[in-house]
Amino acid sequence: MTVEIRGIKLDNTERFRLRQNNPWVERIAEQVFVFNENLVYATFDLTDMAVDTYAIDAVKADSTMGIIENGFRVIEEGNEELQINAFAPGIFWRAPRSASKIVITFINTGDVDIENAIVVVESPGGNLIAPTIELLRANEGLPVLEVMLQEPNGPPGILRPGASGTIEVFVWALPLPSFVVGLK
């Protein structure tokens, strides 16, 4: 499970942990992604942790720490649930070199991390699809495009519960303006 931790001067933190005092339980973050000094993502393995509430500690090298008492709750086994929505123009201009944009929104509505989530945009008619208009205009698109979903300012390769975002892809309307959007 990946948690977002906001604070001050977090970039020099030696370790992050989940802690409970009675009985003593401690779980050190397996992976830490420091976005900047005020925003960190820490991933914890919750296997075999009791359903309960835990403190989150940010421990510095000199043993000083920031504490969020009762800041994290372990629940029963969670569910992966990723929702996507695609928005395309109602009309595709079928003139040569006429590009259109498809906007895809996503949100992790589950209560566990989703790793390496990929959306696939496909053109059954062989139209080129690209992640930028510049690549499309350079004819560097593909008839099937896979895009890794990434939370803005979030940890790479992980969609935390509640993580959401938007991606845009660009398409040629010729020869056949038909597109399929789904998850890999």
Find the mean pLDDT for residues 47-76. Answer: 88
**pLDDT by residue (tens digit) across 68-94?**
888 888 887 778 899 999 998 876 666
Percent of the chain with pLDDT over 70: 97
Percent of the chain with pLDDT over 90: 55
- Phi and psi at 28, nearest 5°, equal -85, 140
Q: Point out the least confidently predicted range of 9-18, 36-45, 70-79.
A: 70-79
**pLDDT by residue (tens digit) across 106-124?**
999 998 899 999 999 999 9
Q: Which helix (H) or strand (E) holds 135?
A: helix 133-137
Map tokens 């519960």 to a residue. 161
CATH code, residues 82-183: 2.60.40.10
Q: Which of 103, 106, 105, 107 is nearest to 87 (CA)?
A: 103
pLDDT at 93: 66
The pair of structure tokens assigned to 179 is 């597109």
- Phi and psi at 136, nearest 5°, equal -65, -45
